[in-house]
Amino acid sequence: MTAFSAPKGVPDYFPPTSATFLAVRDTLLGSARRAGYGYIELPVFEDTALFARGVGESTDVVTKEMYTFTDRGGRSITLRPEGTAGVMRAVIEHGLDKGQLPLKLAYAGQFFRAEQPQSGRYRQFHQVGVEAVGVDDPALDAEVIAVADEAFREMGLTGYRLELTSLGDSSDRPAYRERLQAFLAKLPLDDETRRRAGINPLRVLDDKRPEVRAMVEDAPLMRDHLSDASRAHYEQVKGYLDDLGVKFVENPRMVRGLDYYTKTCFEFVHDGLGAQSAIGGGGRYDGLMEQLGGQPLSGVGFGLGVDRSLLACQVEGVQPGDVSRCDVYGVPLGEAAKSRLVALSAPLRAAGVRYDLAYGGKGLKGAMKGADRSGARYALVLGERDIEAGVVQLKELATGDQREVPLVDVVISVREALGR
Ligand code: AMP
């Protein structure tokens, strides 16, 4: 019988890497929580039409990458390719925008895109995202960006940069689009690129081929054609980022894969990751709520890649969080010792100590090996003579230092030793 393997392009995370995965995710969520974002948990599948309308009919995500199927009731269902459309759907459906604004929400979970898998690009990937709805204040754009930046720094990452631009809005973008299309129409582009220029000319600016890059070098840039209002907004975002101490570089050629962005647009790029270098991105999406049938409220948010942030940590050799599986490991020598060490599980764990012990009647050597592998700082070694004397040996695994502590005080002694 052939063994099963995971579907193509889908990562599994297991110990010890899974501990880093959780640390990365929790660091991203923790940063959002500290800025007042409330957690929202949403379904992984929605009506296909929500994404078609929300993400944009002409995007690669919608035309080529969605996992879409018909359910047993004949409805067209799609596994969520991104988070913002689902959050807006829930905000509108539950009237969450009727209270105090801005409404600030954070989410974490799996997303699905049928992309060609490669390093850092998966068909199921994980994002942490935030959305701030209902207040068109450039300080809020800067806050969203700072929440991401703080989280990356807290992980210990340094090898990334924040790229920033403004994509204008419904008042200045159409005129710019025409200007860019007129420029592109004069170039000797191949048919496929010409077609792309017709659907979304901005994408052509982001073409990676050197010959196309050379041709669009002098193309008009949105940044130079912003309306007064868009320009003022952009300048203020940059000012607030300075106030927050968040460093950025401007990239007027930035293109995002989702159509809903307006004004502020940003991406966090890590140079150690090869082709899939974006560890997160986001921006403002002022028309989206209304487009999905809600009030005409503005919004700004980000989606950060947990998988790629984890890869970035590995590339930089930084370790967010604690990857050890436990703090203390019990090493029983004999049956009586085993029952004592088993009984310690409840009080130690209740005191917040991560505790495991050697199961399966291993001898001293095997049990000590288990202790080392567990990543614990201390072993509790218990033999017959210790029981008679009412003590247990508390052994620091890194140094081999060992001291006797009274069995009745073991929880206090362990907490002291761990510095808690
Ligand atoms: P997007 O929703 O396209 O703006 O993506 C936001 C972030 O999610 C990106 O910067 C990546 O870090 C991550 N991401 C997007 N697509 C994938 C994928 N196929 N595999 C892994 N991470 C992804």
Same-domain status, 349 and 275: no
**Final residue belonging to a domain, choices 316, 349, 367:** 316
Atom 4, ligand 1: residue with shortest CA distance:
281
Residue 58: pLDDT above 80? no
Beta strand ranges found along 84-156 (DSSP E): 103-112, 124-133
Same-domain status, 25 and 67: yes
Q: What is the pLDDT of residue 202?
A: 86
Q: The domain spanning residue 349 has which CATH number?
A: 3.40.50.800
For the stretch 191-235, pLDDT in tens is: 989 988 888 888 888 888 899 999 999 999 999 999 999 999 999
Residue 393, annotated ligand binder?
Answer: no
Q: Round to whole Å and give the CA distance between 241 and 264.
A: 12
Kindly state whether residue 178 falls inside one of the protein's structural domains.
no
Domain residue limits at 381: 328-417
Same-domain status, 271 and 377: no
């991105």: which residue's tokens?
281
The tally of domains found in the chain comes to 2
Q: What is the pLDDT of residue 387?
A: 97
With vertex at residue 207, the alpha carbon angle to CA 205 and CA 210, rounded to the nearest 5 degrees, is 110
CA of 11 to the centre of ligand 1 (A): 14
Same-domain status, 397 and 255: no
Burial class (CB in 10 A: 0-12, 13-18, 19+), 316: middle
Q: What is the 3-state secondary structure (H, E, C) of 311-337?
A: HHHHHHCCCCCCCCCCCEEEEECCHHH
Residue 324: pLDDT above 90? no
Kindly state whether residue 2 falls inside one of the protein's structural domains.
no
Residue 67, annotated ligand binder?
Answer: no
Kindly state whether residue 113 falls inside one of the protein's structural domains.
yes
Q: Which residues line ligand 1 at a C-beta cut-off of 6 Å?
A: 82, 113, 115, 120-122, 125, 127, 256-258, 278-281, 303, 305, 307-308
Q: Round to whole Å and give the CA distance between 246 and 102.
A: 22
Lowest mean pLDDT: which of 133-137, 187-191, 410-414?
A: 187-191
Kindly state whether residue 212 falls inside one of the protein's structural domains.
no
| Tokens at 23, concatenated | 């640390």
Q: Are 111 and 96 in contact (CB under 8 A)?
A: no
Q: What is the pLDDT of residue 294?
A: 95
User: To test the ligand 1 pocket, which listed residue (28, 55, 79, 121) has its Cβ within 8 A of the most ligand atoms?
Assistant: 121
Kindly state whether residue 186 falls inside one of the protein's structural domains.
no
Cβ within 8 Å of residue 182, ≥6 positions away: none
Same-domain status, 294 and 334: no
Same-domain status, 374 and 245: no
First to last CA, the chain: 51
Kindly state whether residue 198 falls inside one of the protein's structural domains.
no
Same-domain status, 300 and 351: no
| Tokens at 36, concatenated | 């007042």
- How confident is the prediction for the chain on average, in pLDDT? 94
Q: What is the pLDDT of residue 55?
A: 87
Residue 83, annotated ligand binder?
Answer: yes
CA of 112 to the centre of ligand 1 (A): 10
With vertex at residue 381, the alpha carbon angle to CA 375 and CA 387, rounded to the nearest 5 degrees, is 155
User: To test the ligand 1 pocket, which listed residue (67, 125, 258, 284) has its Cβ within 8 A of the most ligand atoms?
Assistant: 125
123 secondary structure, DSSP code: S
Kindly state whether residue 72 falls inside one of the protein's structural domains.
yes
| Nearest atom of ligand 1 to the alpha carbon of 309 | 12
Q: The domain spanning residue 54 has which CATH number?
A: 3.30.930.10
**Final residue belonging to a domain, choices 316, 350, 382:** 316
Crossing angle for the helix pair 306-316 and 138-155, to the nearest 10 degrees: 50
Q: What is the pLDDT of residue 282?
A: 97
CA of 47 to the centre of ligand 1 (A): 21
Residue 173 phi, psi dihedral angles, 5° rounding: -70, -45
Q: Give whole-number Cα distances, 281 to 254, 266, 300, in Å.
A: 11, 5, 11
CA of 305 to the centre of ligand 1 (A): 5
Same-domain status, 295 and 396: no
pLDDT confidence band for 420 (50 / 70 / 90): confident
Same-domain status, 297 and 343: no
Kindly state whether residue 157 falls inside one of the protein's structural domains.
yes
Same-domain status, 386 and 259: no
Average pLDDT of span 330-334? 96
Q: What is the pLDDT of residue 199?
A: 83
Residue 149: pLDDT above 90? yes
Atom 21, ligand 1: residue with shortest CA distance:
121
**Final residue belonging to a domain, choices 264, 290, 316:** 316
Average pLDDT of span 23-52? 97
Same-domain status, 243 and 159: yes
Same-domain status, 344 and 284: no
| Nearest atom of ligand 1 to the alpha carbon of 267 | 10
For the stretch 360-389, pLDDT in tens is: 988 899 999 999 999 999 999 999 999 999
Pick the closest to residue 131 from 119, 118, 140, 122 (CA basis): 140
